[in-house]
């Protein structure tokens, strides 16, 4: 299977990630069939895609005239077999539940054509775990998008020891063809590269707040206005190559001993979830959220990400 043979895409799960992934393929000219468990969920996904495409057109990332043809390339179905019967490439984006993903991959393996590549958008699970009940282990891998998938270019491509070179090459070429920046992660591990690095950062951030070193607001202020700015133009290795590894070694020798390295979930995080302080979802977390504040925050984030897309 090569990228030239991939014509029909299927997306399983039309939630936050699924609808954006389907949109990306359709926007690049592929026919997409999307599956979710209810008509209502699929209707919401179509409305979200329309709104995303309008935002991209308003900001001259796509042409206004392309919106309708893109929407027409996306079909939605509540029956799984209808979206998979002629699919060449399937992306699964159902909730992060290993048992559910394993069941879906077993089902997909049974009903998709033999040549079909099966990709999961899991945040942290390994493709060998997700595909454990499927037979076509050479055609299973992860394609991990970042939210929102139509504004963040990178997709981590994670292979299991059984994923074939041919599957990796076809997936890499497909992601490149739709304008994404694929990064191949050669050795499967929980959380790959992006989520592992983010987990390390948020573990230390929680420890800082829990120990009363600084408030959550101050942590956000520091990150946003200091190294966060650099990170959008240079990776951590590039940044520290500028400083010099001798300086890094000297600075980190003592500091490392003082950093949080607990393998337990931080009690503050545990406590927040138990008391229903989930963030935007429950309107309360470290910040208090109103609908207007959420919208303003999303708009600010989207505008910054759009500007970055334009700057490339
Ligand atoms: N939210 C993020 O920022 C983000 C980023 C990267 C990766 N991911 C990963 O992407 C996946 C999806 O996350 P999300 O945030 O889009 O979740 P979500 O809850 O927004 O969407 C999941 C969708 O799957 C549907 N679904 C549930 N069971 C199903 C089934 N059996 N068949 C078909 N559809 C089913 C739900 O109805 C829902 O619409 C997860 O594995 C998540 O870890 C999420």
CATH number of the domain enclosing 245: 1.10.1040.10
Same domain (yes/no): 29, 148: yes
Q: Are residues 153 and 51 in the same domain?
A: yes
Q: Is the CB of 93 under 6 A from ligand 1?
A: yes
Give Cα separations from 235 to 89, 197, 238 (angstroms): 31, 11, 5
Together in a domain, 180 and 287: no
pLDDT for 312 equals 79
Residues 6+ apart with CB under 8 A from 144: 121, 122, 123, 155, 156, 157, 158, 192, 194, 195
In this structure, the answer to whether residues 90 and 207 fall within a common structural domain is: no
**What are 197-223's pLDDT values in tens digits?**
999 999 999 999 999 999 999 999 999
CA of 254 to the centre of ligand 1 (A): 41
In this prediction the pTM is 0.96
Does ligand 1 have an atom closer than 6 angstroms to the CB of 121? yes
Please give the torsion angle defined by the CA atoms of residues 31, 35, 41 and 42, in that order, rounded to the nearest 10 degrees: 30
Query: Residue 168: which of 156, 152, 184 has the closest Cα?
Result: 184
> Do residues 239 and 230 lie in contact, with contact meaning Cβ atoms separated by under 8 Å?
yes
pLDDT value at residue 213: 98
| Residue range 5-23, pLDDT digits in tens | 999 999 999 999 999 999 9
Same domain, yes or no: 222 and 112: no
Residue 233 and residue 98 share a domain: no
**Residue 285 counted as domain residue:** yes
Helices (H) and strands (E) in the chain, counts: 14, 8
At a CB cut-off of 8 Å and minimum separation 6, what does 181 contact? 153, 154, 155, 175
Segments forming the whole domain that contains residue 74: 3-185
For ligand 1, atom 39, name the residue with the nearest CA: 15
Same domain, 137 and 231: no
Same domain, 97 and 126: yes
pLDDT at 303: 96
């Amino acid at each position: 299977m090569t990228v030239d043979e991939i014509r029909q895409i299927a997306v399983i799960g039309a939630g936050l990630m699924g609808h954006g992934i389907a949109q990306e393929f359709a926007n690049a000219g592929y026919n997409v069939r999307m599956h979710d468990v209810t008509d209502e969920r699929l209707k919401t996904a179509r409305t979200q895609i329309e709104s995303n495409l309008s935002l991209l057109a308003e900001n001259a990332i796509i042409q206004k005239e392309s919106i309708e043809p893109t929407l027409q390339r996306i079909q939605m179905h509540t029956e799984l077999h209808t979206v998979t019967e002629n699919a060449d490439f399937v992306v699964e984006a159902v909730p992060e539940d290993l048992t559910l993903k394993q069941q879906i991959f077993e089902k997909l393996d049974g009903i998709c054509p033999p040549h079909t590549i099966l990709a999961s958008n899991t945040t942290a699970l390994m493709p060998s775990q997700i595909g454990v009940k499927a037979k076509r282990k050479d055609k299973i891998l992860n394609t991990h998008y970042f939210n929102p998938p139509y504004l963040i270019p990178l997709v981590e491509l994670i292979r299991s020891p059984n994923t074939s070179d041919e599957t990796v090459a076809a997936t890499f070429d497909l992601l490149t063809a739709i304008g994404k920046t694929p990064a191949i992660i050669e050795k499967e591990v929980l959380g790959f590269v992006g989520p592992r690095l983010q987990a390390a950062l948020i573990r230390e951030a929680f420890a800082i707040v829990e120990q009363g070193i600084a408030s959550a607001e101050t942590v956000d202020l520091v990150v946003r206005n200091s190294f966060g700015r650099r990170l959008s133009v240079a990776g951590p290795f590039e940044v520290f190559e500028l400083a010099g590894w001798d300086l890094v070694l000297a600075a980190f020798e003592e500091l490392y001993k003082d950093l949080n390295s607990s393998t337990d979930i931080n009690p503050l995080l545990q406590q927040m979830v138990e008391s229903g302080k989930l963030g935007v979802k429950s309107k309360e977390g470290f910040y208090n959220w109103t609908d207007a504040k959420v919208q303003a925050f999303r708009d600010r984030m989207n505008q910054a990400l759009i500007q970055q897309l334009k700057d490339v």
